[in-house]
Homo-oligomer: A and B are copies of this chain.
Amino acid sequence: MSEGGARRRGGGRPPEGQPVIDRAFALLASFDGDHRAQTLAELARRCGIPRSSTLRLARSLLGVGALERLDDGRYVVGLRLLEAASLAPRGHGLRTVAMPYMEDLFHVTRQHVLFAVRDQGEALLVERLSARDASPVRYRVGGRLPLTSTGVGLVLLAFAPPAVQEEAIAAYEPGHGDDDIRTPDDLRGVLAEVRRGDHAVGRRYRPFRMTTVAAPVRDGEAVVAALSVVAPDTGPGTPGYGPAVRATARALSRRLAEDGSQAVARG
């Protein structure tokens, strides 16, 4: 789970003459889970932008609050960006409607509860609830996951447009998905099963045994998000969270259908 590091770094060298907005967002995108605070030199190097231009860009972004500086002079992402992002309908808007349902699921299971949406060929984790003593997981709110991996990814992929699915199947390599999915054909079979059963079950054996159950969240006909519980797999006696996840996803879908896109727009 590289959280899109490769994508960002791969896309981090804009050609000369690239519009200033592309450069500004390349600069913002160079922050990730492993680079939350960066010096000017790091920013310039990681974005492949000349240092003088990086300084000008950084100053503009400081001016609008999209960046802030730590006491040691390093740059971090600013609060102003959080404020603007909070109005993204497919992010915080959906999340606001989903949150009480996630709370319910969390109360009942006391395990990790994940809520994700699809952004082109990846899943974006919009929210995660976790108990203080829950086993650690690598899923970070705002982070990206491959669609071929974990329950929410598989649900979002199973209900994605055929072209997105075919691309993911064609590109599939073992290790990019759950440990039971070894070949592109395995993946194709799993996706068909997800659609048939209207939920996904995933297992991982490393670093320890985890199991996940995910179900689609619909706004009318369209699958707009996926909800899951991720829990340690403790063998035959492991509680089955499937019915709870599926019932909660249906309750949330019903709520979205009742309110229509108004609910999301209201956030």
Q: Is A91 an interface residue (CB 8 A)?
A: yes
Q: In the complex the two chains form, is B88's CB within 8 Å of A76's CB?
A: yes
CB-defined contacts of A28 to chain B, threshold 8 Å: 84
Q: Is A203 an interface residue (CB 8 A)?
A: no
Q: Is A141 an interface residue (CB 8 A)?
A: yes
Q: In the complex the two chains form, is A126's CB within 8 Å of B36's CB?
A: no
Q: In the complex the two chains form, is B140's CB within 8 Å of A25's CB?
A: no
- Determine how close the nearest CB of chain B comes to the CB of A97; give it in whole angstroms: 10
CB-defined contacts of A86 to chain B, threshold 8 Å: 85, 140-143
Query: Which of B63, B79, B89, B106 is A119 in contact with, Cβ under 8 Å?
Result: B79
Q: Is A132 an interface residue (CB 8 A)?
A: yes
Cα A144 to Cα B37 in complex, Å, equals: 25
Nearest B residue to A89 via CB reads: B76
Cα A177 to Cα B78 in complex, Å, equals: 27
CB-defined contacts of A192 to chain B, threshold 8 Å: none
Q: Which of A16-24, A155-163, A182-190, A213-221 contacts B (4 or more CB under 8 A)?
A: A16-24
Q: In the complex the two chains form, is A126's CB within 8 Å of B82's CB?
A: yes
- Determine how close the nearest CB of chain B comes to the CB of A64; give it in whole angstroms: 4
Q: Is A239 an interface residue (CB 8 A)?
A: no
Q: Is A100 an interface residue (CB 8 A)?
A: yes
Q: Is A42 an interface residue (CB 8 A)?
A: no
CB-defined contacts of A68 to chain B, threshold 8 Å: 88, 90
**7 intermolecular pairs with C-beta atoms under 8 Å apart:** A19-B20, A36-B265, A65-B119, A76-B88, A79-B124, A82-B92, A103-B131
